[in-house]
Chains A and B, each alone.
Chain A
């Protein structure tokens, strides 16, 4: 079984391994990049001074919280002096002169970046097939069709695959409608999307500003807590950043409460799902029931509208957020006779099909004559969805759902966008409401592929959310 951050730190402290050896161990796997989970792998030379400094701190017995821990970073975080592409052709030569807030925190806490993880282009996708750098391959194989390459999920597919293949201890992802939780589920790892406003969006290539949220993909819940401790901070430079006091997410992770915990299961989520998926929920109920936990049936009134709402709002914001990519100030400029040609050619050549599609949807729903019917209506329904969750959180402490409606599928299998979009059916409502959600692996499908369950908590209740996830993780014993 893979080692946790705490275990690795303890080995480093005890000198059972050096920071350099640790780095090399992961670097070797990353370098082979067999699953195409990296767009860029930083050579050792780049990290030399980080490794030395980290080792010094261990030698002085003053290690930082994430000292020496090799991390992958989704190629959506701007990293100073390191190429940042958002897996798009249009940014394929972009080297930022600034470091995103979140990666700044991770560096400050001593972690070492191995490289930039592949992802869907501008984080638009649920299978990591929209990347300019090619699809990422899920390290897991269908035991009945072992030759087929499966998708890792998306958009943080490279991050999920990297953690699952063991090329980094953890990876930073971003989640707009499920982009952390869904790939985590399909790759058999843990993925946490914090409450909107927990982690600064400053320096993250924007997809949909009102939904984007950074979060960790890890081997275990405790690792997610470690990373969250580092990245969840108020940032004045993000006007949507929340200024509440953060908990220490690690220290009381395994503490049990005497209070009865109420978990709601939305039965409408489970209608028509496969036996495999249903089993995950049933099994979770079973293993948790010996604890002081009560399961309740809860009913949402907005579930059927969530995806529609999301696929209006996210493209609308994206169409505007991606207007800055024009080949004028940075990025790839295509040839053109005049300025307008440069714009048109750079954008048309620079964006892939899915990004183009979403930009078009976005421009359409915002355009004169359609704004009220689509965009404004979706904003209103978004409030109804939020209210729906708030009503349910008056009755229960957590909501339990499957993370995805299906296991990992074959690369190239889902060509129709709508059936692809439906992958996010369980993660999107949470994103619209801005609530925290965590996916943990819960078992295997009949094809031997990992499946995940999602716990949803109330606003800024990450501490409790991690506690219940850690408990479920222990009881489900997926990793053992």
Chain B
């Protein structure tokens, strides 16, 4: 199976590609539409430089050649969601050419080559399920900037496609180019799939349009793969077709066949002039790219000494790293401690309570403080875990909570010695067992002492004092 992907990423801009109406999801119908978007007579496009910036950032992140000269052309076709009767896109001179991304394929890394990425307008939306006879058109999405990223057919399995798509998504979210929200259509994939017998010639490809979840991508590929095999094995031929994936049946089917094939009649948009970018502009944008996921992973492991598995969990989502790095910048707690708490109890809390990771951003001070209390032996790790939910529920600062509940760790040697003395009373048997070589008894004594302090005793100190006493 040979697969190439065309990924459409909606750019995270305030306004549209060629008009200054809002680029926003979820508004009332036709609320974000101006006269340009609705294709009124005489309306003209003006390019949004924000989109060029985002494209160039992507260029750096995906190792593209950034073309200083690019040209917007018109792709002519009729569709009710397409008010102008053409889509402004880039054809002969796209802004980005020849990039690549490394993905994980099983245990290995694999380099996926990307042919090009170009800027274009999104179309509107037709709503078909309100009325049996009519469709309703909402043009809010018209003109939303898209970056279409076209890979070479380097992908060989559904797993690789999903890995490629998620790596792409991760990078685009890191550099703040796309919000990655596939459900809302911010990231969609067209899958071009063909099959080849080992050593045989590559078959005709079919394009499955507009897949907007990893699950659907996987299902569609698996279904289409089987379908093509069955066609070939029963002696048929694969027709070059544009397919739709039916999400309810899990099947692909060809779009209503057209009387004539498409002919988009691309030509340079005469309302626009070529985009010419200077080296200075490119350099300036390069500074805004920031750290990419792969670079971050390396830094977390090598500089911050975070375990690889934990580091990977954190970098999986950009928002995790935002939270992690904010805590790291605000406190002097070792990054390793932050990382393990984040990936452990803190994420567990987020998951249990169905919260957004980003909601942690205004709790980073409190988290840092909590970890510092533990680090400084003011509270025990155990107490820390116990009070974490209160901290994350904004029920006071960690130190307040600790004070209020009287949870400060007892680290006064005098006080602890007394407790130890009490604990050792009547334990002559166990003491002699210990002295006879049974280490297990030590744990028992530590536990007893901590219990006596209602969990507040500093375990390390208790341990130390106990050892001293028992050696006497």
Contacts and interface: CB of A to CB of B under 8 A. Distances in A.
A329 B47 contact: no
A239 B38 contact: no
Nearest to A329: B38
Nearest to B45: A239
A124 B41 CA distance: 16
A206 interface: yes
Given A98-B35, A317-B270, A320-B267, 13 more contacts: A78-B40, A78-B42, A94-B41, A209-B270, A239-B47, A240-B271, A320-B74, A328-B137, A329-B38, A329-B40, A363-B265, A366-B266, A368-B263
A294 B80 CA distance: 59
Nearest to B36: A237
Contacts of B135: 339
B41 A328 contact: no
Interface stretch (B82-90, B96-104, B278-286, B355-363): B82-90
12 contacts: A97-B35, A208-B270, A210-B270, A239-B45, A239-B46, A239-B47, A319-B76, A320-B76, A323-B86, A329-B83, A366-B265, A368-B263
Contacts of B78: 323, 326, 343
Interface string A198-214: 00011111101110000
Q: Give the interface centre of B42, B84, B137, B266 by most chain A CB atoms within 10 Å.
A: B42
Interface in B40-83: 40-47, 74, 76, 78, 80, 83
B42 A324 contact: no
Nearest to A316: B267
Given A210-B270, A367-B263, A367-B265, A323 B42 contact: no
Interface string B122-159: 00000000000001010000000000000000000000
Interface residues of B, number: 30
Given A324-B85, A328-B137, A329-B39, A237 B80 contact: no
Interface string B245-276: 00000000000000000010111011111000
Interface of A: 77-78, 84, 86, 91, 94, 96-98, 100, 201-206, 208-210, 236-240, 316-317, 319-320, 322-324, 326, 328-330, 339, 343, 363, 366-368, 371, 375
B47 A320 contact: no
Give the secondary structure class of A's interface. loop
Interface of B: 35, 38-47, 74, 76, 78, 80, 83-86, 135, 137, 263, 265-267, 269-273
Contacts of B43: 202-203
A322 B267 CA distance: 15
A202 B76 CA distance: 21
Contact of B41 (A78, A210, A375): A78
Contacts of B271: 206, 209, 239-240
Contact of A206 (B38, B42, B266, B272): B42
Contacts of A240: 270-271, 273
Given A237-B46, A323-B76, A326-B85, A366 B267 contact: yes
Contacts of A205: 41-42
A40 B199 CA distance: 72
Nearest to A200: B44
Contacts of A339: 80, 135
